[in-house]
A and B are shown apart, each in its own frame.
Chain A
Amino acid sequence: MDQMNLSLAIPEIALALFACVFLIADSVTKGRILPILHNIVVLFCIGLGVYCLALVPTEGTGLAFSNMYIADSMALALKGFSALAIAFTLIVGANYAKDRDMFKGELHALVLFTLLGQMIMISANNLLLVYLGVELLSLSLYAAVAMQRDNVRATEAAMKYFVLGALASGFLLYGMSMIYGATGSLNHSDIAFAATAAVSGQKSIIFVFGIVFLVAGLAFKLGVVPFHMWVPDVYQGSPSISTLLISGAPKLAAFAMMMRLLVDGLFVMAFDWQNMLMVLAIASLAIGNLTAIAQTSLKRMLAYSTIAQMGFMLLGFLSGVTGQDTGNAAQAYSAAMFYSITYVLTTLGTFGVIMVMSRKGFEVENISDLKGLNKRAPWLALIMLLLMFSLAGIPPMMGFAAKLSVLKALLATGQVWLAVYAVMFSLVGAFYYIRIVKTMYFESPSDNTEIVMGNDARAVLGLNGLAVIALGLLPAPLMAYCMTVIQQTLAG
């Protein structure tokens, strides 16, 4: 087993090499061929995504680098979606970045490194490797937020993000060291083995403490209450393309990290961490939804909406095990995965619309900036309408199918009141989502500047809108897909 198995890590290796070559090429040419390189980066990300997704059904579970690295179908699927999400971000954000002097080689390099960090998180089978991935992702993101040097708010946001992120990393490391102390290993499979022994005997306090800190670190990365304070400030302060880098694809990596740490490593302790997640979920649903209502800033509102959405995703994650019964696990985790993918898809579209609407010297900031969008650009308004109804969970949008599968997983474990609670807060959520629709459709524009967008941005936004409704009407294939990869991961 102690083999390198380099071939399993081809996506990461290719990406790392590509990022380095890109950096050299860009600096040698002093940014003159950046427009061409931009296209190459986008094509590379798409290619990488398609490559990963194409591998899913054939590859079994494989371990590499002395069991530090795991390649299973869930990893490949999530990597594929992440790479595609990054490609989407670059396509839609290109004009936005150009208008703000952010369209430089550094941005692309940072974007590629965030992707690499996510991929490492997704495939980590060792606590240290998890940490490496988290830090690579986070450090690239801090820099991406701070890219506009003369933008005071962005700098402030980057500072906040950095300080709080460092704190969370501290939590994570502290938790990992306790787990290491309790089990004597950093490897997930060894931890799982030790945990089984610990559960049957006397549960050591240090083990449970370790889990608490791990969950706190995870909760910070997901941005759920009470570790959510950074989310609104960072969302609002960052340039929208960086906001999208934070709020889009990394949620898939965070989901994978939860799967690796909690399910692969600490599955037998499910009772302990499920209760912790329940507290987080309940608080996030309430605070996220209620606070979002009071926001006038669009990006802050979306930040609180993210908090609530992640709370809902956790509901799926915490219904895997009841007592000793693990029969619901595959259904619950695949529901959470489907929910995460749905969330990422809608977030990409939402911030895509925000970026397309912004122009040089004008940033879409407040909800009122969307006024009369239906008159200015009916097509964009329609996409935003679909996305908002999807976030609100109204059928036939994809968000409904996602909420339904999570609710179904909850009810399968008999947690009826939690389901009713979640449903009631969906109603609260619907209010601020349909308020966006109101602003776009029922009010007259206060600003009649024409909205310019490239054909590529138009095409991918259109695809996104189409996907949200098509996968809402026919969610079965993607659901079955999530189910398959989760089952393989649980079995492997």
Chain B
Amino acid sequence: MSNNIPYLSLAIWLPIAFGVLIMALGNDKNAGMVRGAALVASLISFVVTLPLYFGFDTSTAQLQFVESLPWIEAFGATYGLGVDGLSVWFVILTALITVFVVVAAWEVITEKVAQYMAAFLILSGLMVGVFSATDGLLFYVFFEATLIPMYIIVGVWGGPNRIYAAFKFFLYTLLGSLLTLVALIYLQFQSGTFEIAAWHKLPLGMTEQILIFLAFLMAFAVKVPMWPVHTWLPDAHVEAPTGGSVVLAAIMLKLGAYGFLRFSMPIAPDASHELAGFMITLSLIAVVYIGVVALVQKDMKKLVAYSSIAHMGFVTLGFFMFQDLAVQGAIIQMISHGFVSGAMFLCIGVLYDRVHSREISAYGGVVNTMPKFAAFFLLFAMANSGLPATSGFVGEFMVILGAVKYNFWIGLLAATTLIFGAAYSLWMYKRVVFGDVANDNVKELTDVNTREFLMLGALAILVMAMGLYPKPFTDVLQVSVDALLQHVAQSKL
């Protein structure tokens, strides 16, 4: 713990620096080198996050690997970084997913390769910044800055309707976060500092708390996204290139959920309790209604996008029952969803690269031509529907247990996700993979190559490992979640 290497700063600025370098030096003529450099850069950026786990002290809820430098004294803002059990896994997950994104783009992205790789590396650094900022303003700067590369990614390398999707994504999220900015400045006035930990202790009246909670809700609900502000996500997912969808689903959605844990709940605990019923209702609508919506999708990416919304509904449901098991389950669900949804989008990307269609009806009988791929896809579809022994099961099960304890009927409704999840995931799988070879496109399919095999294989191992042995995750979470819940249980009034 006492080492002085600033791992968090490295995890933020290394990928950004690599990204800028690649953008400056790379062009389409040396695309091969650019790909290699991007892979090395993402691997190095991943490796520097590993000490965060190995050096992590699971016995304390205190922030670890803390860094603090003066930043903008006029605002009382500092360059403060640190992680606790709630955030450390997301830092690592972000860096890891970026490696997959770089690999997934290898042969697929042929235009403006350097800019593509640079955008993802910079995005990765910014997202690590969001998870590790201990200063409200720094958090906001990283949170907003992620919009820029994502806007470019969707707009430049996206599908036919990409411009609409990019605008919708950008304006929706910006709308949400602007009011948050007002709330942040308000909190700064009340406390004289932008330090999040100081805000946790700041006494606030009920009206103030409710207003602050709602201002934060605007930003985080759009990002998660919660019903009814979810409509940007299916558009963005469908139009984004594979890498964009993976990062959106795996990491960006978590920024919102993480915001609830770091800001809304501890800063406005009384408002959180007051509005818990509202939050639970919205979450249940997301779980049940969006689950049904996912069932009728014709587009594979859209289906997985809706399933993401339903899964994230599960996460917010877990948070606002204020139960140890449920909150832990929700966080586990976030991590697991990062792997599983990322893997689902990568699988769809593998198919799309060959056939150039995302319509379910364009496929059928893929198993005949791509047996290895079918096996991987099956595992991920099962994980998506929460099959025991996969990572998807652990989190969902914990949240449902918590929910049943909290209120039987909420638990019952939440449990329907297991049915809907299985229905939409496996029904899609059946239509795409099983049956006779549907058309010539499918007939000409070639099975996954080595690159894709390694990529999907690595994810498969992670999904299985997390399902079978979730202890490394729950261990890290335990103390921090306990401390959070103890804090939230104390009224500030």
Stretch at the interface among B178-186, B286-294, B374-382, B460-468: B178-186
Binds A, one of B164-172, B247-255, B385-393, B415-423: B164-172
Q: How far is the CA of A479 from the CA of B71 in the complex (A)?
A: 12
Q: Which of A423, A438, A483 is within 8 Å of B178, CB to CB?
A: A423
> Which of B71, B115, B162 lies in contact with A442, CB distance below 8 A?
B162
Whether the Cβ atoms of A438 and B171 lie closer than 8 Å is no
Min distance, Cβ A97 to any Cβ of chain B, angstroms: 30
**1/0 per residue A460-475: CB within 8 Å of B?**
0000000000000011
Instruction: Tell me if A408 and B75 are in contact (CB < 8 A).
Output: yes
Residues of B within 8 A of A407 (CB): 181-182, 185
- What A residues does B25 contact at CB under 8 A? none
Interface residues contributed by chain B, number (CB under 8 Å):
37
* Contact present for B163 and A438 (CB under 8 Å): yes
Q: What is the CA–CA distance of A435 and B148 in the complex, to the nearest angstrom?
A: 13
Report the count of interface residues on A (CB-CB < 8 A).
37
B163 touches A442 (CB 8 A): yes
CB distance from B102 to the nearest CB of A (A): 20
User: How far is it, in angstroms, between the C-alpha of A389 and the C-alpha of B145 when the chains are bound?
Assistant: 10
Instruction: Specify which chain B residues have a CB less than 8 angstroms from the CB of A408 in the assembled complex.
Output: 75, 185, 188
Binds B, one of A245-253, A350-358, A392-400: A392-400
- Given contacts A420-B179, A438-B155, is CB(A479)–CB(B171) below 8 Å? no
Say which residue of A400, A416, A434, A476 sits within 8 Å of B74 (CB atoms).
Answer: A476
Cα A418 to Cα B166 with chains together (Å): 29
Give Cα A437–Cα B153 distance, bound, in whole angstroms: 12
**A416-B182, A427-B171, A442-B155 given. 11 additional CB < 8 A pairs?**
A385-B152, A404-B75, A405-B74, A411-B186, A420-B179, A427-B178, A437-B155, A438-B167, A441-B155, A442-B162, A480-B73
B175 on the A face (CB < 8 A)? yes
Contacts A395-B140, A411-B185, A475-B72 given: A434-B179 contact, CB under 8 Å?
A: no
* B166 in contact with A438 (CB, 8 Å): yes
> Counting CB contacts under 8 A, is A426 at the interface?
yes
Q: List 17 A-B contacts (CB under 8 A).
A: A374-B112, A374-B115, A385-B152, A395-B142, A395-B144, A404-B185, A416-B186, A419-B185, A426-B178, A430-B174, A434-B151, A438-B163, A441-B152, A441-B155, A442-B156, A475-B72, A476-B72
0/1 string, A379-423, CB within 8 A of B gives 1: 000100100010000111000110011011001100010011001
Closest B residue to A479 using CB positions: B74
Check B170 against A430 for contact (C-beta < 8 Å).
Answer: yes
Q: Which of B53-81 contact A (CB under 8 A)?
A: 70-75
B141 CB-CB contact with A under 8 Å: yes
Q: Is B204 an interface residue (CB 8 A)?
A: no
Q: Is B189 an interface residue (CB 8 A)?
A: yes
* Closest B residue, CB atoms, query A381: B115
Please determine whether A480 and B74 come into contact, CB atoms closer than 8 angstroms.
Answer: yes
Q: How far is the CB of A41 from chain B (nearest CB, A)?
A: 33
B142, B144, B162, B188 pick with most chain A CB within 10 angstroms: B144
Does B366 sit at the interface, judged by CB under 8 A?
no
**Minimum CB–CB distance for A475 against chain B, Å:** 6
Q: Which residue of A lies closest to B186 (CB)?
A: A411
Given the complex of chains A and B, what is the CA–CA distance between A121 and B144 in angstroms?
Answer: 39
